Amino acid sequence: MKKKLIFNAFYSENNTAKIVGIGKNEKHKNSYEFYLKNIFVSLKSAKENNQDVDVMLITNNKLPEKYNKYFEENGIKILRVPFTHFLMPSQFVWSNAFYKLNALNYVINNLEYDYYLELDTDTYVPRNLNDLWSECEYDNLLLYNTKHKASHPVRKAIMEDYEKIFRKKSNVQQWGGEFICGNKQVLKLFLDKLQEVYNSIATAGFNVDTNSGDEMLISIAAKSMNILDSGAYIERYWTQRFYLSSTNWANDYVLIWHLPAEKKYGMIELYDYYEKKRKFPSITNTRKMLNLPSTKHFSKRKFKIYISKFLKKVNWISQY
């Protein structure tokens, strides 16, 4: 049987997660506890539905004893790894997000597994991943296509960064950083590409957009690789004021839900639910917690068709 690893990466300083976009509230004085609870939900849900895999947190600092004990009791391995690769200047807004690539470098070069899946901390795994692992038999790197057109600000910035680095234009596809998957051989090749691009950026004096995140490095490095779009396996759902979601949590369903806007909301509800009941809710109830759309749809046309069929049935019955 192939050995499989699912892992999250988490970088912190002085018990603070210095990553943009999560904020504070009265219960959590900084983003640190939000991330620990998200990590638990991500990795525990993966383990619950995939008993044959190892799940692991790669982090640079020791966790508070409360969380360290709780993670280990629930089968989540913890490995401390210093931030030594893919370091970006401190003025880069997303500099700490590059720790996920540092974590990838460590596990591929130091841990013996056949298949690896790195997920962002704000993910939920409600189903078995057997179909995904079957893809890892082949020489494809699996990444998530953000489906952003050329004028999208983030993809546009990536293409501009590419031009700054290599002195030529290219319509670089933007791949998300929430999902990196493949076998050891493919991921070693990907790490070589990442290092090549990083070296080129460093040689140029880090003359790229200071808002550039790990997706910039991932997307440029992936340009020369054989990529399989993982859209059949993961979806990125936006579930707050900006609402961009799908019913593919249930219909033609994906296996992993990425929920960037639920870090402080639905993911915390799931953590609290599990802590109280020692299990996660049903998929239907989970989707409600995470503000995903219902599969039930009402429209005037659908209502007219229903009424028409009902009247025909009544008319047929009345003849007998």
Query: Is residue 229's pLDDT more than 90?
Result: yes
**Mean pLDDT, to the nearest integer, of 232-251?**
97
Query: Is residue 29's pLDDT more than 60?
Result: no
Tens of pLDDT, residues 164-190? 999 999 999 999 999 999 999 999 999
**The pLDDT value given to residue 313:** 73
Tens of pLDDT, residues 34-76? 999 999 999 999 999 999 999 999 999 999 999 999 999 999 9
Query: Is residue 317's pLDDT more than 70?
Result: no
Who contacts 117 (Cβ-Cβ below 8 Å, separation ≥6)? 4, 5, 6, 7, 129, 132, 179, 180, 181
